[in-house]
Amino acid sequence: MDKVVATALEAVADVPDGASLAVGGFGLSGVPNVLIGALYERGVAGLSVVSNNCGAMESGLAVLLAAGRIARVTGSYIGANKEFARQYLAGELEVELIPQGTLAERLRAGGAGIPAFYTPAGVGTQVADGGLPWRYDGEGGVALASPPKEVRDFDGTEYVLERGIRTDFALVRAAKGDRHGNLVFSKSSRNFNPLAAMAGRVTVAEVEELVEPGEIDPDTVHLPGIFVQRVLALTPEQAADKKIEQRTVRS
C-alpha cells in the first residue's frame, strides 16, 4: 500500500480540535516541524499533547503552545521554554510531568497493546503517592493534582503501576522512509520518535528521504510500516532546516 500523501495539510487534514497527539523528538532533534506547522495553519486547537518536551526557541510544539492551541501536555521536561512555564504556573495549561524512562515505556507499552506495567521509578514520591500539580489556579494554589497510583510489592521491592499511552494521532520525523511506511531514524532522532509512532492510532511520518519499497535493508528498519499510516516526503529545504538549541563553536 502506497502511504505517501502529497502535502502536509493533507497529512493532518482529519486531526480535529481536542485530539490527542503523540509527538516525536527530543529538544530540537527529530521534531516533525512541517507537520506541526500544518496543524498551526489549519487552526486546530484544544490539543492534548504527549511529548518529551513542548518545543523550544519558537520551534516545534512551541509554535502551537504560543498560539494557545494546546490544552494539556504529558511530558518529562519543561526546560528553557519560558512560555511553557508561564502558562503552567498561570493555570492556562494542564501538565502531567512523568519520569523520562516511564514516559518512554508508557508510549511503547501502549503501542504494543500492554495496558499497564509496574516500575520502581517514582515509588515513595508524589509520582506514586499523588499530589503533583497538574493545573494551578493562577494564584499560587493547585486547582488539580495527580491521583495516587497503585503500589505493589514484588519480591520485597515496591513498584508503582503505570498505564500505557494511546493517542488519536502521532506525528514523527524520520531520516528515511519508503512508500510502505518503513522508517529509519538518525542518531538522536531515534529516541522518542519510534515510541510516539507506536502509540498513535493514526501515525503520520515526515521523512527527509523517500525511497521505494525494498530499498531499505529490512535489518536496518527501526520502525516497521505496520505502525505508520501516512508518509510525507519533505523537500530538500525542509529536510535541511534543522535548528541548534545550544550552539557551541570554536574560536
Give the CATH number, domain containing residue 168: 3.40.1080.10
Into how many domains does the chain fold? 1
**Residue 235: its H or E element:** none
Tens digit of each residue's pLDDT (9 = 90 or more) over 1-52: 899 999 999 999 999 999 999 999 988 889 999 999 999 999 999 999 999 9
Q: Is residue 127 part of a domain?
A: no
Residue in the structure block whose three cell numbers are 489549519: 42
Determine what percent of the chain falls in helix, strand and coil, rounding each to the nearest 5. Answer: 25, 30, 40
Of 126, 62, 98, nearest to 192 (Cα)?
98
Tens digit of each residue's pLDDT (9 = 90 or more) over 173-228: 999 999 999 999 999 899 999 999 999 999 999 999 999 999 999 999 999 999 99
Confidence at 163, pLDDT banded by 50, 70, 90 = very high
Q: Is residue 137 part of a domain?
A: no
Inter-CA distances, 72 with 56, 65, 112, 159, Å: 17, 10, 24, 27
**Residue 148: its H or E element:** none
Q: Is residue 248 part of a domain?
A: no
- Three-state DSSP at 111 gives helix
Range of the domain at 42: 4-115+164-240
